[in-house]
Chain A
């Protein structure tokens, strides 16, 4: 009976559960692509080296004009993205965006935009009627501030890429002949590989499976490895993902809890990692990487919450703790020797 039970539990542990996690990964990845608005029939520029814009990092004051230029990578140019930053203040300016082909006298398109919709360190899409024969042509665009003031204005962010472009293709064009289809598929695959969001999404979706595998198959008795993995995956989340999303970080949070439970780790040990993340936030801030600093700060807070929860739940059984801060420091220093 016991043997059957062990076999059953092994089956669940080593087969059924991993399969469920793989299926979850597949579902999560495809679902996120669909709900994330990542359409199929478009391409993003992958080479932004030829694009440039002035006034980067400077506050756009009333009347200031930022002039930009780029070479269209494909035909069917439909959107120009520009990255802005509100410097942590509330921007209430209105900017005029206009675009024309280099050397042309008249602007192809011009429109006004309220800057309160510009998210800090995010690319903002300036859409316009699709230009069909755009490939290889140079385009100029301008962004003019209408009411910008020192505190309420907007800044063109220095985080790269500052400019990006989007090309829209119709189904008819793609399916018209095999050449079009092949060409589009090759470029689309390259687009996906170059799109860090999709890579991050893939990693995130299969993260529960990866972490579970590590947890089950490797380093069962070495808490340092597990703490390292937990911290590393948290850092990975900060680097890879653009925004902090609860669903993305849930597997990592779960891993932290599992590790704490498995090795009876003191809450203060987790706090050490929280403080380390605060220090990382400080460095990221210094490097003007506010978006990453924000994510690091959130992760620091998440670890602080975990630490507090663990601290409370285990406050009366401190003597049973296996891993304390003192032990961590001693283990780390002995390893170094």
Chain B
């Protein structure tokens, strides 16, 4: 009897453990070549994980700030994986190689397993559920996400079926509603690490609720489900409160950015319906490109046969509401996939015009195939459940395995590149970390330079991200950076490059010859024009002001720019012009006496405010964190133009203090929601991108003394702060409180149930 019980429980344990082990082993098998390769995975389009552990630690602390390297981190919901990577790097010394491999293996196997769990929850048998998981973990979007480097996207993709499962459970059961709501919210929040999933999940949820409402005979039950899901959204938003508040505080700018970026080169590039059915994305062709040309037709044909079989899953008798939801999801996702191309272009054109915020999430159209992939995976279970026969099972298994062909190569058919950085990079990183300078670092070649040598493709820079210093060199964040990125390829105009670098506050330049710019591919100019030799020629021409600080290897050099403007300085002689940036820079390259420039046509302010400016070198400042600078002007008198070389944003405010605060680091905002900042009309755009304030120190000191008779100093203590950080920080506190409260509830609930 005892043996019977133990063998029964053993079988139960095996039944629980076996499926995740199967998916893990498949994932390891699919990635076996990569695992054997030393170094980090060089992902082609987006570098999600940095190379050195210290970089990942820095990325892990990024969630504390709302502003970094010249941009508002309004979309940065992906800080959770960053924190996890940071934790692994700090605790176990994991480098980019370990993390990227771990991430790929775990997310792919998790994708399969979570789809298996969803399928099991929908009462499908073991075999259909396993096949469903296998199908989901090997859809083309997974392949493309690995090759192109959307690792955070992959994590969200893997968790999506788990969220759907929890949402179904929450909707269908009235037991443990709070617990299920919290679990759903946690999963949802994790999934939102890739913000496009807000739209992806919401589209599916909305369709489900709609179908439920239309098909249900119990309307009150349907409304109850809507209410439950509403609370999931509320808690998820509270768990993301920092970003919600930051978005709201910057709503105008956010809306503009989203609208402007809604459609890009990658949207609707040439979506073919026959590719959509194969679940392949439009922008990235890595999946199909990985199949040898003579076999493409056979491969596509086999995939189609499988999709046709899966389509028969709609005839399944189980889960009618969910099957209907899947039908509608497939209709909508395939429709959106076609984009503005015929024959449904007019419909999508309408959606784009009227619901730009919605369509913006699908600017890379492969995102929409997530929903198609999810739907087909569940339908596969339904099909196998409905047509139980050996021939169907064997045939479907063969087709699913054949469809996995691109994965079976072990290295994504050479789609994924691996690389090892030479030791020079480690020394460079050490030097940059230990360097106390607050100046910016210009990584050359610029503008998504990240291409491996002799590679047609690219991934984001492996060293730039997670760098301790303000870097320039990825996507230009302002017009001056953009001009410099192109001008640096023109040695004949090196004087203009010098002017641009000086006004951008670039103190150091890192030149990497193991990288080539990717820019030409996008702008369609001749590749020959954009060579590293041209950059070297420009740098050599600037030798009077630019010195070679250190050569770390043949490919890696560090230069110092002796004439760079500090991040914060006082300007007494601004160059005023109505001309375009190009002309201003040309003028300034011939005139050395100006210490700033103001484009009058972009600035509406009273010019007379700039009269009688005083030059003053007696200024010191400290960068407390990316959103806060403390400035001290000794013996202040007269009128100054104070320049802060962060990108101009109305969120930057200048406050006058009666006491000096010498703390060089703090996390929380310094001027919580204070309104007594310098008036907005004295905050102007200077140097084409930076913040400038006109400060009348005599007036300010007089006011200080009037308000505070004890104030005897002649010094002016100033704080320049990115004000939305206050909203962000309050949101962060809310998020932490909600998360802590939820975790405590789950723990207490668990204990209670255990005792019962």
Contact = CB atoms under 8 A, between A and B. Distances in A.
B307 interface: yes
B331 A308 contact: yes
Contacts of B330: 304
B609 interface: no
B315 A243 contact: no
B285 A312 contact: no
B38 interface: no
A315 B324 contact: yes
Interface string B319-343: 0000010011011001100000011
Contact of B274 (A243, A245, A279, A281): A281
Nearest to B321: A315
Interface stretch (A197-205, A214-222, A267-275): A267-275
Nearest to B308: A278
B84 to A, nearest CB: 34
A281 B297 contact: no
Interface SS majority for chain A: helix
Nearest to B298: A286
B275 interface: yes
A297 B274 CA distance: 5
A243 B342 contact: yes
A281 B304 contact: yes
Contact of A88 (B215, B285, B301, B308): B285
Interface in A242-261: 243-246, 249
A64 B312 CA distance: 47
Interface string B268-290: 01101111110000000100110
A251 B319 CA distance: 35
B73 interface: no
B301 A285 contact: yes
A88 B297 contact: no
Nearest to A312: B214
A17 to B, nearest CB: 27
Given A304-B331, A305-B331, A311-B327, A87 B311 contact: no
Nearest to B301: A286
Contacts of A325: 315
Contact of B297 (A249, A286, A316): A286
Nearest to A325: B315
A275 B387 CA distance: 16
A79 interface: no
Interface stretch (A32-40, A104-112, A122-130, A287-295): A287-295
Given A88-B285, A90-B285, A298-B343, A278 B456 contact: no
Contacts of B304: 278-279, 281-282, 285
B126 interface: no
B296 interface: yes
A246 B342 contact: yes
B83 interface: no
Contacts of B302: 282
Q: How large, as a class, is the contact surface on chain B?
A: 35 or more
A308 B327 contact: yes
Nearest to B280: A88
Contacts, number: 109
Nearest to B323: A311
B311 A298 contact: no
B654 interface: no
B314 A301 contact: no
A275 B379 CA distance: 14
B342 A278 contact: no
A159 interface: no
A275 B308 contact: yes
Contacts of B324: 311-312, 315
Interface in A77-96: 87-90, 92
Interface in B151-167: none
Given A89-B285, A151-B456, A286-B298, A268 B315 contact: yes
A101 interface: no
A193 interface: no
A283 interface: yes
Contacts of B311: 271, 274-275, 278, 304
B328 A308 contact: yes
B269 A285 contact: no
Given A89-B285, A278-B307, A298 B273 contact: yes
B293 interface: yes
A151 B298 CA distance: 19
A315 B277 contact: no
Interface in A3-21: none
Contacts of A275: 308, 311-312
Contacts of B307: 278
A21 to B, nearest CB: 22
B297 A287 contact: yes
A74 to B, nearest CB: 34
Nearest to A268: B315
Interface in B331-360: 331, 334-335, 342-344, 346
B25 interface: no
B737 interface: no
A271 B301 contact: no
B251 interface: no
Contacts of A151: 285, 289, 456
Contacts of A271: 311, 314-315
B300 interface: yes
B305 interface: yes
A37 to B, nearest CB: 17
A8 to B, nearest CB: 37
Contacts of A305: 331, 335
A294 B272 contact: yes
Nearest to B294: A57
A241 B269 CA distance: 23
A65 B308 CA distance: 41
Contact of B301 (A89, A243, A282): A282
Contacts of A243: 342
A87 B296 CA distance: 9
A315 B216 CA distance: 10
Interface in A154-191: none
**Residue of A87, A243, A249, A282 ringed by the most chain B CB atoms within 10 A:** A282
Contact of B273 (A90, A274, A283, A294): A294
Contact of A290 (B215, B274, B344): B274
B321 to A, nearest CB: 10
Contacts of B346: 246
A278 B314 CA distance: 14
A278 B250 CA distance: 48
Contact of B214 (A288, A298, A301, A315): A315
Contacts of A285: 274, 297, 300-301, 304
A196 B172 CA distance: 56
A92 B265 CA distance: 14
Contacts of B300: 282, 285-286, 293
Given A278-B307, A308-B331, A301 B273 contact: yes
B506 to A, nearest CB: 33
A24 to B, nearest CB: 20
B273 A279 contact: no
A100 B293 CA distance: 33
A110 to B, nearest CB: 20
A298 B214 CA distance: 27
Contacts of A286: 297-298, 300-301
A307 B312 CA distance: 13
B216 to A, nearest CB: 10
7 contacts: A149-B456, A275-B311, A278-B277, A286-B300, A301-B273, A311-B327, A316-B215
Given A88-B272, A151-B285, A275-B308, 5 more contacts: A88-B285, A281-B274, A297-B273, A304-B331, A325-B315
Interface of A: 59, 87-90, 92, 149, 151-152, 243-246, 249, 268, 271, 274-275, 278-279, 281-283, 285-288, 290, 293-294, 296-298, 300-301, 304-305, 307-308, 311-312, 315-316, 325
Ranked 8 nearest A-B pairs via Cβ: A282-B304, A286-B301, A297-B274, A278-B308, A297-B273, A285-B300, A285-B301, A246-B343
